[in-house]
A and B are shown apart, each in its own frame.
Chain A
């Protein structure tokens, strides 16, 4: 592992598999009466969130606390940032307080990279989502969830497994990180979206693309539905699709479409989901849905990441 986790592309296959194996051990601890582990006692983890997030922040907070680290939550709203402080000055403040790891979410793509490589801080930087760029721990928890469900029947790996990622790929940092990580782990990824919601340069991602959801579903081993990020859709840029109803009819996962899936196929969603838009309520609540399990796995994966980044000797890279 490198000292920072900024992109899913930072992880080699060995690194990624180490995170998954470590997460498996962390996950087994969740069933114990005492869930606390002493591994990061005396270390400080700062959650630096410049963008609203509930589940990611809580997930990182729970992960750090279960490893006995001290957690400081820094939300941009109501802080010095709203008074005009720059990222640099915020970073220098955190450095002066002695943070060992900074978990950063920022609306600007590349902010975590800037924080890690500018020399402002000595701590490890974990990208918890930057703009429309990347969200590597989400990709790790998605891969971990797939690995737990699909791994046992294919020799403990995702080699050759077919993963369909469906929806607003254009605005999705989750999709980008997942494409990178799943390919590292040997899976075959197909992105399904209307042409307007696929990013420019998608040919360079090395993944299949399709506009036809019904053609992709019967072959998939896992289907990941993405939320349509309307808050990132600027009205002035024109419509990405005619109506929500038409989007839902062509690219939403409902009970009828779910019936065409193979028996072992799982349905995933990174959350927050909009029932009735990209996923219908009966699918979200079905036995195939592992959406709630993804949240549990998220804590285990983030524990693994924090453990692997922070537990060794300082400066041992």
Chain B
């Protein structure tokens, strides 16, 4: 029996490791990202935020709320599942699919900001770029992440970063967000906690 592999970065109730960002730090980082997106884009026109499930989706929603608060304009938010576009689909057990919801109005010609929790190898983002080409052709694609932990394996970088977090490969970065988890927190764990991240 191959149980479908889901996101295991945070097990419920487990809060071991060193806390790097708490709820207020996360909120401040997202506020800054929201302003940076507006500044870079010269306003909220044509913006679409696409979160990568699971935890990119609540992040995208929060950033959109912050943008709306400043610009008095609702930014469309959606989710983009990249599972079937992964290059490691045939390694490990079957992965469960997660919801894809493209906002009405689509992404054709829009400025799409991809939102994810942790930027690591860059492979998830590559999958997301592939997944997006089958939905439409955006005018431009930007990338916003809460944590950039380094160790890129592809030539991909984020446009908006909540926090740069230098890590070693054996460490594990866990992002918890209310909505998916019980609390807001980013923690980092040593290798003793079992297994290499992702």
**Interface on A for B, CB 8 Å cutoff?**
1-2, 18, 21-22, 25-26, 28-29, 32-34, 36-39, 67, 307-308, 311-314, 316-317
Contacts and interface: CB of A to CB of B under 8 A. Distances in A.
Main secondary structure of the interface of A (DSSP, over half): loop
A1 B89 contact: no
Nearest to A314: B90
Interface stretch (B57-65, B95-103, B161-169): B95-103
A38 B84 contact: yes
B94 interface: yes
B97 A316 contact: no
B91 A32 contact: no
Main secondary structure of the interface of B (DSSP, over half): loop
Which of A33, A38, A67: most chain B CB closer than 10 A? A38
Given A37-B84, A311-B89, A317 B134 contact: no
Contacts of A25: 81, 97-100
Contacts of A316: 2, 92-94
Given A1-B94, A25-B99, A38-B85, A18 B2 contact: no
Interface string B151-175: 0000000000000000000000000
Nearest to B92: A313
| Smallest CB-CB A-B distances: 3 pairs | A39-B84, A312-B94, A25-B97
Interface residues of B, number: 24
A38 B130 contact: yes
Nearest to B85: A38
Contacts of B183: none
B100 A311 contact: no
Contacts of A33: 136
Contacts of A67: 84
B1 interface: yes
B135 interface: yes
Which of B85, B89, B97: most chain A CB closer than 10 A? B97
Given A25-B100, A38-B84, A38-B130, A311 B95 contact: yes
Interface string B109-131: 00000000000000000000010
Contact of A313 (B91, B96, B97, B136): B91
A22 B2 contact: no
B4 interface: yes
Contact of A312 (B93, B130, B134, B136): B93
B90 A313 contact: yes
A28 B100 contact: yes
B80 to A, nearest CB: 12
Given A32-B134, A37-B84, A18 B96 contact: yes
Given A2-B1, A34-B135, A313-B92, 10 more contacts: A1-B2, A22-B96, A28-B99, A38-B130, A39-B84, A39-B89, A307-B94, A308-B4, A308-B94, A311-B95
B100 to A, nearest CB: 7
Contacts of B85: 38
A29 B101 CA distance: 10
A313 to B, nearest CB: 6
Given A21-B96, A34-B134, A36-B134, A312 B84 contact: no
Contacts of B97: 21-22, 25-26, 307
A13 B186 CA distance: 35
Contacts of B93: 312-313, 316
Contacts of B91: 313
A34 B89 CA distance: 21
Which of A26, A32, A313: most chain B CB closer than 10 A? A313
B81 to A, nearest CB: 7
A312 B96 CA distance: 10
A37 B91 CA distance: 18
Contacts of B89: 39, 311-312
B17 to A, nearest CB: 29
